[in-house]
A = this chain, B = another copy of it.
Amino acid sequence: MLPQILIADDHSIVRHGLSIIIRDILPDAELFFATNFDTLLQVLAEGKLTLAICDVNMPGCNNFHMVQIMKQIQPELKIIIYSAYDENLYANRFIKAGADLYLQKEIENQVLIKAIHSVLEQRPFAATAIHEEADNGMVNPISLLSDREFEVSNLLVKGLGTSEICHTLDLGKTTVSTYKRRIYEKMGISTLPELVTIYRNYVNAII
């Protein structure tokens, strides 16, 4: 069986780099590309994909819900989430949603290669990157948020207003306001600049 691998990332350079690595280690693999969630779903519908390597921040579906949908369509699909974002922020949510592996873009190519092999061969991969929290007792306040609150919080930090968020997530505006209140409550803050500051302090990437 020759593996069919989908590379989903909106950065051309990342797609290019990944495809070269994969062609190198899996010459028989058939590669597909997607730059947004719609294309991804199309590719998924068409063929029997073996593995999908996905960026977190894909236009059309920036969140872990994407993973649930993909696994629903094709449960045996292997999914590697490949992201620039801080790990303890995202990894658990993606794994919970059904991803097989969460890797940070900072990892070396050798680690990536091992990870791809492991996932394809159904071996568990102990990603060096995952769970090396030098936890000095500091609780990351962002981890207190529920999935939906987290989504709203990310959009708030990006500068979206309540109504923009409610359109983006297809929710009522009072719903978004409720999330906003709960976010502020959980974090013990009352203003957007405070939220931005918390992100600065706890997140290593701009979301």
Interface set of A (CB-CB < 8 Å, partner B): 10-14, 16-18, 20-21, 57, 84-85, 105-109, 112, 156-160, 190-194, 196-197, 200, 205-206
Within the oligomer, what is the number of copies of this chain?
Answer: 2
A157–B197 Cα gap in the complex (Å)? 11
Q: Which residue from B16, B84, B158, B197 sits with its C-beta under 8 Å from A109? A: B16
Of chain B, the residue at the smallest CB distance from A205 is B57
Whole-angstrom distance from the CB of A94 to the nearest CB of chain B?
15
Q: Which of A14, A107, A108 has the most CB of B within 10 A?
A: A14
Q: Which of B13, B106, B112, B193 contacts A196 (CB 8 A)?
A: B193
Q: Which residues of B contact A196 (CB under 8 A)?
A: 192-193, 196-197
- Expressed in whole angstroms, the Cα–Cα distance for A122 and B194 within the complex equals 44
Asked whether, in the complex, the Cβ of B18 is within 8 Å of the Cβ of A206, the reply is no
CB atoms of A16 and B12 under 8 A apart: no
Known pairs A17-B20, A200-B200; A109 contacts B12 (CB<8 A): yes
Q: Can you list the 6 inter-chain pairs with the closest CB atoms, starting with the nearest? A: A159-B191, A17-B17, A11-B105, A13-B17, A159-B193, A16-B17
Residues in B neighbouring A109, C-beta threshold 8 A: 12-13, 16
Check B12 against A106 for contact (C-beta < 8 Å): yes
Task: State whether A206 and B85 are in contact (beta carbons under 8 Å apart), knowing that A14-B17, A191-B159, A192-B192 are contacts in the complex.
Answer: yes
What residues on B are CB-neighbors of A21 within 8 Å?
Answer: 13, 16
Chain B's closest residue to A10 (CB) is B106
Report yes or no: B158 in contact with A193, Cβ–Cβ below 8 A.
yes
**Which one of A107, A109, A193 has the highest number of Cβ atoms from chain B below 10 Å of its Cβ?**
A193
Name the one of B10, B106, B200, B206 contacting A11, with C-beta atoms under 8 angstroms: B106
The winner among A21, A57, A84 for most chain B CB atoms within 10 A is A84
Give the distance to chain B from A107, nearest Cβ to Cβ, in Å. 7
Question: Least Cβ distance of A59 to chain B in Å?
Answer: 9
A57 nearest in chain B by CB position: B205
